[in-house]
Amino acid sequence: MFNKSLMSAVFAVIAAPVIAGNTAEPAPTPTILPPMVTPASTATDWSGFYVGAQFGQGEVSASDADGSVDFDTLGLHAGYNYDLGSYVIGGEISFDDISADGGGEGDTTHLELRGGYDFGRVMAYGVIGVVTVDDAGDRENGSTLGLGVNYLVTDHVVLGAEYLRDTYDFDGADVDLDTLSLRTSYKF
């Protein structure tokens, strides 16, 4: 009888997990994660031809004169940019009509090389080039250096600001034109 009781106890201990359902730990409930949202691509392409207009203000100073003269400019520009990924290179030609305080008038023609960095919808760039100024029939060639920034409002409309320093030698006098312009362009 002792054997039957011992056997029944061993059987009850072994069978208890089977009767209870399972000897393994219960499986965890799976967690359902929402789908990952990938941000929209911010890649922009600055490549292509563009045309536009600019309005600027500046001052002209000469090494043989005291003080400077303020002026306004109004002009047109056209160019081409090539987007290399992070960097943008290009060239531009621009024409500006100058109206100086006190009645002086003239015009400038710039031929520029540009190099910039593509920040997406913003491009910062530097300018180097040659410039010709016509001041009442007196033409002089010079050099230009500058900095600018463009913002791509849409895939075709560009707004920007640009600073240029034109340097000339008029009959032995160094002449500098410093211009800050607001620009708008249409990119094809």
Backbone angles phi, psi at 11, to 5 degrees: -60, -40
- Max avg pLDDT among 31-45, 92-106, 119-133: 119-133
The pLDDT of residue 92: 98
The pLDDT of residue 36: 72
138 pLDDT above the threshold of 90 = no
Backbone angles phi, psi at 4, to 5 degrees: -65, -40
Instruction: Quote the CA–CA distance of 56 and 113 in Å, as a whole number.
Output: 20
| pTM for the predicted model, two decimal places | 0.74
The pLDDT of residue 20: 58
Beta bridge partners of 98: 73, 106
pLDDT digits (tens, 9 = 90+) for 89-112: 999 999 999 998 877 888 999 999
Asked if the 48-187 domain carries CATH number 2.40.160.20, the reply is: yes
pLDDT digits (tens, 9 = 90+) for 45-86: 999 999 999 999 999 998 888 888 999 999 999 999 999 999
| Secondary structure element (H or E) that encloses residue 184, with its range | strand 173-187
The pLDDT of residue 24: 64
DSSP letter assigned to residue 10 = H
Closest to 151 in 3D by CA, of 39, 41, 43, 46: 46
The pLDDT of residue 78: 98
42 pLDDT above the threshold of 60 = no
Please state, for a pLDDT cut of 90, what percent of the chain lies above it: 59
- Per the CB < 8 A criterion, the answer to whether 161 and 180 are in contact is yes
Cβ atoms < 10 Å from Cβ of 42: 8
The pLDDT of residue 107: 93
137 pLDDT above the threshold of 80 = no
